[in-house]
Amino acid sequence: MVAIRFIDLPDTVAAPEHSLGAIALLNYLRFISMSCRSKPQTNLFEACALLHVARSTERDAHADVLMRCLNEALGKPAKLFGPATTEVSFDEKWLMQFALASKAQDEASLQFLLNSRVSPENRRLVRFLMARISEYFYLV
Looking at per-residue pLDDT, the higher value among 11 and 39 belongs to: 39
Contact 70, 125 (CB under 8 A): no
Q: What is the pLDDT of residues 68-84, one digit of tens each?
A: 889 999 999 999 999 88
Q: 24-33, 44-53, 105-114: which has the minimum mean pLDDT? A: 44-53
The DSSP string of 22-47 is HHHHHHHHHHHHHHHTTSPP--HHHH
Other CB atoms within 10 A of residue 66 CB: 25
Q: What is the pTM of this model?
A: 0.75
